[in-house]
Amino acid sequence: MKKIYLLSAVACMFALNAKADNVWYTDGGAKVDLAMEQVSGTLATNGPVAKVVVSNAGAAGDPWAVQFCNIFKEAAKGQQEGKAFKMTFEVLYEGASTEGVNLTFLTGKQHNEKGEEMHANWQWNAPDAEKDPNLELNNVTFAVNGTALEGDPAAGVLNKALALELGKWNTIEINGTIGAAGMICIQMNLGGNAANEGAFYFKNMEVTFNKDVVKFFEDKADNTAVTDAAALKAYVANDVIYASEAADVVVYNVNGVAVKSAKNVTSLNVADLKAGLYIAKFGNATVKFVK
């Protein structure tokens, strides 16, 4: 088990160097991309939400194959040692499993300037705080769909698996106290359970540092079906979004954050946007594009 934790630390540190702060992304051996899609049917969403796919490569029991991660570093003024931390979001699984699936939560560990490991294990609630102080989060508690989970025994919380109910949006809540690391690495491992094969959708994510809030994947966009007004068509060409008639337009990035908008227009230039995947809601039409 120790070898696995060391491998995971390497993956997290690589991600730290390669990814911007406060942006959700995927990592791991399966190399699954983060996409933005809407969920239809009885669980329909009011706008694009985050989608992470667990493929055959990620469902073989490798806990590090599909990782959904964020590294918070000075995300808000409230991200200070001793301040309260709270994270809430909704998650839905769609796949072949009929027996249930789970998310496994880890927080990262940090190295000093010499590359030396400063935190021996991925523990959130260390059994001996003096010998093994946590540098990121302490006093961590979990709740699933409003039910608090009992803490692990004296070994502390190395990795916490949260069982999800099938066929519904599950509400996850994590509370804790911010440690002294100066960063908080949140990692959800989706590949450790063979039953997890399928897709996980995330929405309405709020991360609170004392009183400062960072939001992702807000489920609040207009959900009017395209079929209700088939005359309105939208498409992207040469860094411009065009529509067949004037309408309001909002462009969302891969984290579900609105990055550009306009009122009652037939076109919108997006040449100034950074490279990446975007979703544009043009009236009641939806168009996905990559820059």
Model confidence at 113, pLDDT cuts 50, 70, 90, reads: low
pLDDT tens digits, 223-255: 333 333 334 677 777 788 888 788 889 998 877
Q: What is the DSSP letter of 210?
A: T
266 close to 282: Cβ distance less than 8 angstroms: no
Sort strands 25-27 and 258-269 into parallel, antiparallel or unpaired.
unpaired
How far is residue 78's CA from residue 208's CA, in Å, rounded to a whole number? Answer: 8
Domains present along the chain, CATH in parentheses: 2-216 (2.60.120.260), 226-290 (2.60.40.3080)
pLDDT of residue 11: 38
Provide the pairing of β-strand 67-72 with 25-27: antiparallel
pLDDT at 108: 52
Could you read off the pLDDT of 69-110 as tens digits, one per residue? 888 887 778 899 899 999 999 999 998 888 888 888 877 544
- Do 251 and 270 meet the contact criterion of CB atoms below 8 Å apart? yes
For the record, the structure tokens of 154 come out as 């004296």
Distance, in Å, from the CA atom of 123 to the CA atom of 126, rounded to the nearest integer, reads 6
Taking the C-alpha atoms of residue 66 and residue 60, their distance in angstroms, rounded to an integer, is: 11
